Structure 1
Amino acid sequence: MILPITHENMEARRWPVVTLVIIAICFVIHSVVAATERSQTRDLNALVSQALAYHAAHPYLKTRPPLDEIVGYRQLPLLAEKPRPEKAPDDEEALARQQQHFDELGLSVQKTIDAFPTRRFGYVPARGDVLGLVTHPFLHGGWLHLLFNLWFLWLCGCNMEDRWGRAVYGPFYVAAGVVAALVHKLLGGSPNVPLIGASGAIAGALGAFLVAFATTRIRFVTFLRLRPIFFTAPAYVMLPLWLALQITYLMLAPRNGVAYAAHVGGFVFGVVVAGVLRFSGVEKKLDDAVEQSVTTMQDPRIVEASDLITQGRAAEALVLLDELHAEMPSSIDVQLEILRATKMLGQRAREMAAYARLMQLYVRAGEADGALALFREVRAEKRLLELPAATLMQMGQALDGAGFPRDATDAYEAVHRNNAETLLAVKALIAHAKIAARLGAIEEARALFTAARESPFSTKELDDAALVELEALDNRI
């Protein structure tokens, strides 16, 4: 089993209200349903035991649904003692009364089954009810089923809500669940077994995530002999692989209790919707609308804080700015004022935290010039090593991509300065070496690649990548 843990775009511009509401609703509903169905299961078992005992005593009676699927199922441990079978009565009226009683027991069993919330509000393909199309994603078959689904939702749903906005993401999630259920029915889902679980709707969010965040690197964990193994891979590799596995399982075992068809239908729906929004330009408009909703250029509290700093009352301003930061953690304006205040107060740690946060926000907003200006400011003060390594790596990637390779090498060098003491530093060594090779500094590149390979924190994947690059350097000489 391979499980996603996190990814590099976990930050959002505002609280993912829709995603949190969905998670809360699922938790509340499952808590109630689990308690309700425990009691109903006891009642059902009592009725089934009574029906089995009656049929064991009258084996000549005809069985009808749902008892036809229960009678004779030897592994059902509901009968403590099997009664001695009787002979069929010669009196037709007596036989009819016995059959009627047995049929009534069957009806009672069916009525009890139909009263289960998972059956009433799950989507039963043969029933074809509209309500079940909407309600089935909020029901789950157990706590593990619920937790796994909601963890996947948290990893991708927050980003899609942040990208598209609440007004679009909410209806999209519901629509993905509906489409997933219909595909499940179309591709031969068990007609009388209720479809429950949010996985179809979440698969829609995964498909949309693939389009919107294709290059995002996701961190996974798997287990080999109970030993955890961690690795990262981009979304454009892992999500199509997941879809391929769902299609394979659907073809090999379409009715093994997992709604693979719903997963495939939801995922494809998400890819199509996200693709249409992106290539039509609607996605950018939605993203801009979200950005505008969190922009605080005209917020009077920021103006007030700025005035306080100008008056030399930075401590008072910082109290106000901390409140604003809690409300709007992605506001560049708030962070700029926090940077001013912490500089004035000489709070070096908070000052560097503000620098790091601002660089991340500028990179995310696609404003490389703003991030570069801050980076060069910190470098001029000889304080690059005070920035978090993750921020420096992000800056290295952004600056190199924006056409500032020499600035990028400074960022990478700050990460691996301490002899590659972490896995991140090994990656920085390799990234630095690639730029050096590109700029013609062959010996420097060779030394960096070699250092990466010799680091005890490297991995086989990184060693192989460095070796390939070293061989390429040899071919250039």
Structure 2
Amino acid sequence: MLLIPAEKRLDWKRPPIVTLGLMLACFLVFVFYQSDDGDKIEQATEAYLASDLMSLEAPVYEDFLQRQIEFEGETDRRIELEQFRELRESGEDHFVAFLLLSDRDFFRYLEYSQDIVWTPRERRLWNEQRLPIEQAYVSKLSSFAFGLIPAEMSLYTLITYQFMHGGWGHIIGNLVMLFLLGFTVEKALGPGRFLIAYLLCGAVAGLTFAAFSWGSSVPLVGASGSISGLMGMYMAIFGLRRIRFFYFLFVYFNYFRAPAIALFPVWLGKELYDYWFAGATGIAYMAHAGGLVAGAALVWLLGKSWLQVREEFFEPEQEEQDARFTSSYAQAMGSLSRMEFEVAQRQFEALYARYPDRPILLEHLYQLAKLRPDLPAYRDRARQLMDDAIARRQPERVIALWQEYLSKGEVHQPLSAKDHNRVLFLSIKHDDLKAAEKAFERLRTAGDQILASEACRLLASEFEKRQMTQKARHYQQLL
């Protein structure tokens, strides 16, 4: 069963740059660096078969597996022992050599136990032939060079292992989950904090894996621990909010809603159960559990300080906002149709405060204010609507609004000299000299002599440019 949170939609106008960058980095490392692993393994296997190592190591390997089954309780190794014996009996030397080379715990066992399992001559032969193969090929494999090996812990591998992967299925699955979770968490935290939290969760996941596999030489690779951290952060960010989850069961899929944090114990419990009871699957369950807990803990501990979620993150999706606007707008229009103007005004004011980028609301408020041209509210709305028209580059609309206000509201609440001056400049810019002259006349009576003089000089200049001598002389005389 696949269960994925799916509350937020991706906004490609603001793409998740860090998430896409992490995906690209993993892909490039896998294609251009890890792609050489196949050649290195093949070369190591050929060198191994050309040596006398198989006759030395194969019998010891059977004894090694048997000891792990009997004395260390690793019953899962029983299947490996049976498969190894079948390969030897069928003469599959190539696969036998691959198994002997790839079992890192066996190699470490040979390093520390060679004095016990071999004679001095055999030890010398092993050191002369096996160690050069290790140094030339095996140690240079990506998972051994940059993977997280619990027996050989180093700080840099806590980061580098997160960008390594074990195959196409591994990387594709991780990149899909990284995208589905990453774009939401990055939107909540911001790119910089998201990247630090992602890498930190991966490091904690690696340490958790190492703690439960202490002394193992098997390398951990993959971004799944970091991605589990994203899952933990996702759950903690939404907390008790009911969010959508997508689930897929065999051929059936659907959505359901539940409190986000309710799924946290489900995921954690699944990883712990699989670790104890699923057997040898090659999946780092404890790394997943460590990353999950680390992600949730980061948000719970630092959610009100360094890792605080952006305020705009919890704003409704655009479709939901549109639906809410449509419903509220219909109510306000209903009040208008019933001529409940005061109610409608309050409703449109509330809508405009919430959706200031929707000009239709300002238009309605202007029309309602126009019902009482004697009040200052009409002048204020006229100015607002003219400002909006200027911002939208609608000069004709500005001039029309100005003229309408002159006929209805100017006698009650006169516009300022700056209002008339703005209309004058706009009229000249769009070659409406008739409106410009009218604005100048209003400006002269507004009492600002400095603005009036500048406007007069501008009109004289404009008429002179157009060779309208009489008009130009008129304004020159006024100066």
TM-score by length of 1: 0.53
Distance 1:157 1:219 in 2: 16
| Partner deviation per Cα, 1:42-87 (whole Å, 9 max, x = no partner) | 1122133234x5543899999999xx999994336652799xxxxx
2:310 to 287, 293, 308: 287
Shift of 1:128: 0.8
Query: Cα 1:127–1:231, aligned 2, differ >3 Å: closer, same or farther?
Result: same
CA drift of 1:3 comes to 5.1
Query: In the comparison of the two structures, how many residue pairs are matched?
Result: 294
- Tell me which of 170, 175, 185 is aligned to 1:160: 185
Q: Identify the residue that residue 432 of structure 1 maps to in structure 2.
A: none
2:320 counterpart of 1:360: yes
Q: Map residues 167-182 of structure 1 onto 2, 5 A cutoff.
A: 167-182=192-207
Amino acid at match of 1:125: P
In structure 2, distance between residues paired with 1:222 and 1:71: 35
Residues 8 and 218, structure 1, Cα contact 8 Å, conserved in 2:
yes
Match in the other structure for 2:6:
7
Give the number of the structure whose alpha-carbon radius of gyration is greater: 2
For residues 145 and 277 of structure 2, the distance between their equivalents in structure 1, rounded to whole angstroms, comes to 30
Superposed displacement of residue 143, structure 1: 1.0
Counterpart position of 2:225 = 200
Matches within 5 A, 1:79-94: 79=93
Q: Secondary structure at the match of 1:216?
A: strand
Confirm or deny that 1:219 pairs with 2:174.
no
Counterpart pick for 2:216 among 173, 176, 191:
191
CA 1:8–1:43: 2 relative to 1, 3 Å = same
Structure 2 alignment gaps of length 5 or more: 69-79, 97-118, 338-479
Output the CA distance in 2 between the equivalents of 1:198 and 1:58.
34
The reply on whether 1:36 has 2:12 as its aligned counterpart is no
Q: Aligned with 1:126: secondary structure? A: helix
Which residue identity is paired with 2:195? G
RMSD: 4.1
SS of 1:218 mapped into structure 2: strand
Deviations 1:183-203 (A, max 9, x none): 111123562011100011111
Which shows bigger deviation, 130-139 or 185-194? 185-194
Identity of aligned pairs, percent? 23
Shift of 1:258: 1.3
- Choose from 294, 313, 317 the match for 1:269: 294
- Equivalent residues in 2 for 1:449-460 (5 A)? none
Q: What's the offset of the Cα at 1:266?
A: 0.7
Deviation at 1:154, TM superposition (A): 1.2
How far the C-alpha of 1:2 sits from its partner, in A, is 2.1
Change (3 A) 1:47 1:217: same
Q: Residues 374 and 45 from structure 1, CA distance in 2 versus in 1: closer, same or farther, beyond 3 angstroms? A: farther
User: Structure 1 residue 157: deviation in Å?
Assistant: 1.2
Letter in 2 for 1:373: S
What amino acid sits opposite 1:204 in the alignment? G
1:190–1:255 contact (8 Å) kept in structure 2 = no
The question of whether the paired residues in 2 share the 8 Å contact of 1:2 and 1:220 is answered with yes
Letter in 1 for 2:310: D
**What TM-score, normalized by structure 2, do the two folds share?**
0.53
In structure 2, what is the Cα distance between the partners aligned to 1:50 and 1:147?
A: 36
Superposed, which structure 2 residues align to 1:442-453 within 5 Å? none
Deviation readout 1:26-46 (Å, 9 max, x if unpaired): 111111244201111111221
Cα deviation per residue 1:269-315 (whole Å; 9 max; x = unaligned)? 1111111233x36555x504889xxxxxxxxxxxxxxxxxxxxxxxx
Please give the secondary structure, in 1, of the residue aligned with 2:231: helix
What is the CA-CA distance between 1:238 and the residue it aligns to?
3.7
